[in-house]
Amino acid sequence: MELVVLHYTAMPSCAEALERLCDPLAEVSAHYLIDGDGTVLSLVDEAARAWHAGAGEWRGAGDVNSRSIGIELANTGREPFAEPQMAALERLLAGVLERHGLGPESVIAHSDMAPERKGDPGSRFDWRRLAVQGLVVWPDLTDAPPPQPSPTGGEGGAMAEMAGFLADLRAFGYPEAAPEALLTAFRLRFRPWAAGPLDDTDRALAAGVRRFAVDAPRADA
Known catalytic residues are: 72
CA-to-CA distance for 121 and 166, rounded, in angstroms? 22
CA-to-CA distance for 95 and 54, rounded, in angstroms? 24
CA-to-CA distance for 131 and 28, rounded, in angstroms? 28
Pairing of the two strands 107-109 and 3-8: parallel
Smallest CA-to-CA distance from 193 within 140, 110, 128 is with 128
Residues 6+ apart with CB under 8 A from 152: 160
Report the 10 Å Cβ neighbour count for 31.
Answer: 25
Residues 6+ apart with CB under 8 A from 174: 58, 112, 115, 182, 185, 186
CA-to-CA distance for 106 and 15, rounded, in angstroms? 29
- Phi, psi for residue 76 in degrees, rounded to 5: -75, -15
Bridge partners, residue 6, by sequence: 71, 109
Given a contact cutoff of 8 angstroms between Cβ atoms, the answer to whether 29 and 94 are in contact is no
